[in-house]
Amino acid sequence: MQSPVNPEEMEKIFQKFPAMDAKTAEKMVRDLQDVINPRQVSKDWAVRVPYSRDQTGGGGSKVNDFRVPDIVVMPDSAGDVSHTCQIALKYGVPVLPVSTGANVCGMAVPLARGIMIDFKRMNRILEIDEDGLTCTVEPYVTYARLQAELEPKGYRVNVPGAPNSASVLANCFFVGDKYFSSKFGYGPMEIMGAEIVLPNGKVIRTGALATDPIEPDQVLEYVAGRHPASQQGPGRVCVQAFGPDMTGLPYQSVGRNGIVTKICIKIYPLTKSSRILIYGFKNLKNLTRCLAEICSREVGYGGIVNGPCYSIPALTNSNVDAEKLMKIFKNPLKAFLKTFFAFLKNPTLPFRKPFREVVSGMLGIRGRNFTMEVFLFGTPRRVDLDTKRTKEILANKEFTEEKPGDGTGMAKHMFWAYEKDAKPEYIYKVFQSLGLKDFRLDWLMRMGKMWDYNEVPARIMRKAAGFLLQSPRMPFGKMHWVFEIFLDVLRKAGYPGIDEGNWSTYINSGSGAHYACLEMDIIYDPKSQEEKNRAIQILMNVTTQLTQKGIYFPHNIGLARDLIEQMTVPKIWELTKEIREAFQATVLGPL
């Protein structure tokens, strides 16, 4: 790593910008309203304040920690966005777009103030192309909405680890991991084209969105000659084009290199059969070795890993129930006694196959720190073969020294949407017999569709609702020692309950076994600024230590980003800076 930058540079990352003066704001609003509907441009403080936080909790405990934008614009089209950029450039004012604000790196907060572009009005699914298997959507289309439109047509989108209230466009461009990334890749591998408004207001269309034989570079509400929402005619071609692919410009920049107003992504056919397998591991190295093998051998759509602070809250409906379930997992005698007395009321229960499957599944993953979910999709024959292949990998001593716990019986009924003879009511019966009073059948039914309509990542925040993470990318082989460093940092910081499992992780392949993300999560009480500061400190500490050992962190939190990049990837930082200056992105996106 380069030696630390000079103190002046260091100061820059904490810089704060004052509010725009009233006169300038007034002038800018008028200029914006020349093109944009006046109701959709506002400098009212009550309209601006809500943009000061994103999923990281944004600034400090104060609302206006210098992170409130000066003006908010709600565009209807790329034309409105283009006009906004041109006005902003004229005044030298930053512009930041936001769709759902579900960003975990403080990037959806206007760190440099200026104009906030809120995409809520641009929420159309413009095209579902069944020939080229793509769809084209605007920024405010969420995964849930898109999946709901695709399913009746026999398609799916690759659902992310983020809650499905997240924007498809924003998640893909932030290189979001998806559940089936092992097969289909991360967001960028699925992006076939984009419409981008450059900082100078020019609109370009890239890749599959540029290949129509129509007037070049027109700013259109939807591509001319195509019918909105459903398309049976000639489709979009899924290759990177033309030559150097400018689709790469907005990646991970969250609107700071250019503002994306349309995205064309791949969609996939629904399969005839599916099955979700769950296995529990005590040792992360064993697990990642198996997972690397599963992903590299193209078994199903790959798999993911969850730590305890993910799994338990995900399965339960309240903190109280989560604590109960944790205790039960640790104390099987207690569990047995609880269920025994419950059976006295319903003696035929243990004789029923689904009940036994659920219980054996729970026993399978009991006491294991990590669970691995494997996603099998395909023809029935293929799903059966992949089930066999998975078991062979898990039984292979070359890959694992421990015998993984088999939670598949529980997975079958929990994720009822993926197995034909699933009986989710048995999950309910078992949980009720364990004394989980807040467990509701209707909520359980919702969770069963998790791999298509993901709500769980939001639910894992149930504990205290403060949630910060770092998510480096690396091959599977490094994860076990990287994670040990993370736990060590937590222990040294006095974080409570480390040995009791008060931590969490999430692992997902990005593309086969080539790279994966290892998410390190810290849960804190967001009402306590002290706890939040400590959480940030821990993560910075972890990031520094691991970067020095060659671990790559492509996402860094908001203000610290520039400094960390300058220190760790100096040549890329330098080149990117030059390119951003060339496009005047440094004016529109200084931080």
Contact positions with other proteins (CB under 8 A) in 250-289: 250-253, 256-257, 266, 269, 271-272, 288-289
Are 361 and 406 in contact by the 8 Å Cβ rule? The answer is yes
Return the SS3 of 498.
Answer: coil
Of 35, 66, 366, 387, the one binding other proteins (CB under 8 A) is 66
Q: Determine if 228 is a binding residue for other proteins (CB under 8 A).
A: no
Q: Which of 78, 259, 410, 513 binds other proteins (CB under 8 A)?
A: 513
Output the smallest distance, CB 515 to other proteins, in A: 5
Binding residues for other proteins restricted to 368-407, rule: CB under 8 A: 377-379, 381-382, 385
Distance CA 14, CA 17 (A): 10
Contact 305, 370 (CB under 8 A): yes
Q: Tell me the closest approach of the beta carbon of residue 103 to other proteins, in angstroms.
A: 9
Q: How far, in whole angstroms, is CA 321 from its chain's centroid?
A: 26
State how beta strands 191-197 and 155-156 pair: unpaired
Contact 193, 207 (CB under 8 A): yes
Using CB under 8 A, which of 28, 32, 36, 51 touches other proteins? 51
Q: With respect to other proteins, which residue has the nearer C-beta, 349 or 468?
A: 468
Q: Nearest distance from residue 144's CB to other proteins, in Å?
A: 3
- Ranges within 335-374 binding other proteins (CB under 8 A): none
Query: 29, 292, 365, 372: which one contacts other proteins (CB under 8 A)?
Result: 292
Interface positions, 2-41, toward other proteins (CB under 8 A): 2, 15-18, 40
Q: How far is the CB of 415 from other proteins (least distance, A)?
A: 12
Assess 519 for contact with other proteins (CB under 8 A).
no
User: Which among 48, 29, 49 is positioned nearest to 39, based on CA atoms?
Assistant: 29
We find the least distance from the C-beta atom of residue 535 to other proteins, in angstroms, to be 14
Evaluated on CA atoms 62, 22, 120, 179, the torsion sign reads negative
Residue 53 binds to other proteins (criterion: CB under 8 A)? yes
Rounded to a whole number of angstroms, the minimum distance from the CB of residue 418 to other proteins is 14
What tokens were used for 1? 């790593």
Task: Tell me whether residue 63 or residue 493 sits nearer to other proteins (CB atom).
Answer: 63
Q: Is 101 in the site for other proteins (CB under 8 A)?
A: yes
Site for other proteins contains 194 (CB under 8 A): no
Which range in 227-235, 334-342, 428-436, 485-493 contacts other proteins by CB under 8 A?
A: 227-235
Which residue, 355 or 418, is less far from other proteins as judged by CB?
418
Interstrand relation of 134-137 and 259-266 (parallel, antiparallel or unpaired): antiparallel
Residues 370 and 287: beta-carbon distance below 8 Å: yes
8 A C-beta contact, residue 547 and residue 470: no
For 335, other C-beta atoms within 10 Å of its C-beta total: 21
| Binding residues among 411-470 for other proteins as defined by CB under 8 A | 440, 442-443, 445-447, 449, 453-455, 458-459, 461-467
Distant-in-sequence, close-in-space partners of 252: CB < 8 Å, separation ≥ 6: 173, 174, 175, 554, 555
* Interacting residues of 369 by C-beta distance below 8 A, sequence separation 6+: 281, 282, 284, 307, 308, 501
Question: By CB under 8 A, which span of 141-149, 274-282, 324-332, 339-347 interacts with other proteins?
Answer: 141-149
Per rule CB under 8 A, is residue 49 in the interface with other proteins? Answer: yes
In the complex, minimum distance from the CB of residue 585 to other proteins, in angstroms, rounded to a whole number = 9
Nearest to 508 by CA among 65, 187, 153, 245: 187
Q: To the nearest whole angstrom, how small is the minimum distance from the Cβ of residue 291 to other proteins?
A: 10
The C-alpha atoms of residue 156 and residue 215 are separated, in whole angstroms, by: 31
DSSP 8-state secondary structure symbol assigned to residue 448: T
Cβ contact 505:519 at 8 Å: yes
How many residues sit in the footprint of other proteins (CB under 8 A)? 179
Q: Which of residues 273 and 369 has its CB atom nearest to other proteins in the complex? A: 273
Q: Which of residues 295-314 bind other proteins (CB under 8 A)?
A: 296-298
- Contacting residue, 318, 369, 387, 502, with other proteins by CB under 8 A: 318
Q: Give the range of 79-87, 113-121, 334-342, 488-496 binding other proteins by CB under 8 A.
A: 113-121
CA distances (Å), origin 556, targets 70, 112, 166, 302, 522: 25, 17, 19, 27, 15
Cα–Cα separations (whole angstroms), residue 569 to 14, 83, 251, 255, 550: 20, 34, 16, 21, 11
Considering only 360, 432, 502, 511, the residue that binds other proteins (CB under 8 A) is: 511
Q: What share of the chain is helix, strand, coil (3-state, %, to 5)?
A: 40, 15, 40
Calpha distance 219→223 (Å, rounded): 9
> CB 48 → other proteins: shortest distance, Å?
8
Shortest Cβ 340–other proteins spacing (Å): 27
Least distance in Å: CB of 42 to other proteins? 7
Least separation, in Å, of the C-beta of 185 and other proteins?
6
CA dist., res. 260 & res. 202, Å (int)? 12
Question: Which of 5, 25, 33, 202 contacts other proteins by CB under 8 A?
Answer: 202
3-class secondary-structure state, position 259? strand
Q: Look at residues 82, 83, 80, 107 and name the one whose alpha carbon lies nearest to residue 96.
A: 107
* Residue list 541-570, contact with other proteins (CB under 8 A): 547-552, 554-556, 561, 565, 568-570
Residue closer to other proteins by CB (options 410, 516) is: 516
Residues 149-188 that bind other proteins (CB under 8 A): 149, 163-166, 175, 183-186, 188
Which residue from 71, 249, 349, 539 is in contact with other proteins, where contact means CB under 8 A?
Answer: 249
Of the candidate spans 54-62, 338-346, 362-370, 401-409, the one that interacts with other proteins by CB under 8 A turns out to be 54-62
> Is 211 a binder of other proteins (CB under 8 A)?
yes
Crossing angle for the helix pair 479-492 and 284-296, to the nearest 10 degrees = 140
Give the 3-state DSSP-derived string for 522-572, with helices as H, strands as E and coil as C.
Answer: EEECCCCHHHHHHHHHHHHHHHHHHHHCCCECCCCCCCHHHHHHHHHCHHH
Which of 35, 77, 235, 425 is close enough to bind other proteins by CB under 8 A?
235
144 near other proteins, judged by CB under 8 A: yes
Interface of this chain with other proteins, residues 466 to 495, rule: CB under 8 A: 466-467, 473-478
Q: Are 135 and 127 in contact (CB under 8 A)?
A: yes
